[in-house]
A = this chain, B = another copy of it.
Amino acid sequence: MKRKGELPPRERILQVARELFYRDGIRAVGVEAIAAAAGTNKMTLYRHFASKDELVAAYLKGLAAEAESLWDDARIKHPGDAEQQLRYLLRRVSQFADECSGRGCALANAAIELPERAHPARKVIEEHKNRGRERLVALCREAGYLHPESLADEMFLLVEGARVSLQSVGREGPGARLFALAEGLLDTAPRKKRLKTA
């Protein structure tokens, strides 16, 4: 049944999982619905994923990888300029918040839906968020800010808050100010004195 021009079932399943898990919630979507929407069936799904939990973990891992490629984009667009990289990331994240249909961050949502410490998805989520925080601190430091950890955490909280609040106060809520607020931070946060290296 392999029609040319079509992705293999595993990829189709992951793609559909992205849409359905994100839109309706992980617990609200059954594996059968995913298989059907992917043009395949439960049996094939279970040949590629050991369990629903593993499918969820794979789904989140794909999202995390994609999100982390943003950092590479930033480095490529503004090589050597940490502050511009920060602003670039900020722009992209704000833009996403504006387009994401009000469901916020899929990783954060999954963490809320799956509180069991042992769930395979939790490791993916925690590692992703922690890496993001560390990278943010590193960029803030590289950009010469005086208190990089504090500034990075503030931006982190603003971004997380903007995405989660989409669901309760909507796109017109406080999240709409994310870009302006965070850029204000970058503008006014204290920096090291620029010592002329020449």
Contact B161 A174 (CB under 8 A): no
Complex Cα gap A104–B23 (Å):
22
A154 within 8 A of B: yes
- Known contacts A107-B168, A167-B108: A156-B174 contact under CB 8 Å: yes
Interface residues of A, CB < 8 Å — how many?
A: 45
Query: Does A153 sit at the interface, judged by CB under 8 A?
Result: yes
User: How near does chain B come to A101, taking the closest CB pair, in angstroms?
Assistant: 10
Chain B residues with Cβ under 8 A from A159's Cβ? 161
- Let me know if A115 is at the binding interface, CB within 8 A: yes
B-contacting residues, A90-127, CB 8 Å: 103-104, 107-109, 111-115, 125-126
The answer on a CB contact under 8 Å between B25 and A28 is no
| Residue A164 is within 8 A (CB to CB) of chain B in the complex | yes
Q: How many copies does the complex hold?
A: 2
Interface residue? A173 (CB, 8 A) = yes
Asked whether B113 lies within 8 Å of A25 as measured between CB atoms, the reply is: yes
**In the complex, given contacts A133-B174, A154-B181, A161-B162, what are 10 additional A-B residue pairs having Cβ atoms less than 8 angstroms apart?**
A25-B27, A111-B167, A112-B113, A129-B168, A150-B180, A150-B181, A154-B177, A156-B174, A157-B175, A157-B178
Q: Which of A121-153 contact B (CB under 8 A)?
A: 125-126, 128-130, 133, 150, 152-153
Interface members, chain A 157-198 (any B CB < 8 Å): 157-162, 164-165, 167-170, 173-175, 177-178, 180-181
Most buried by B among A125, A156, A178: A156
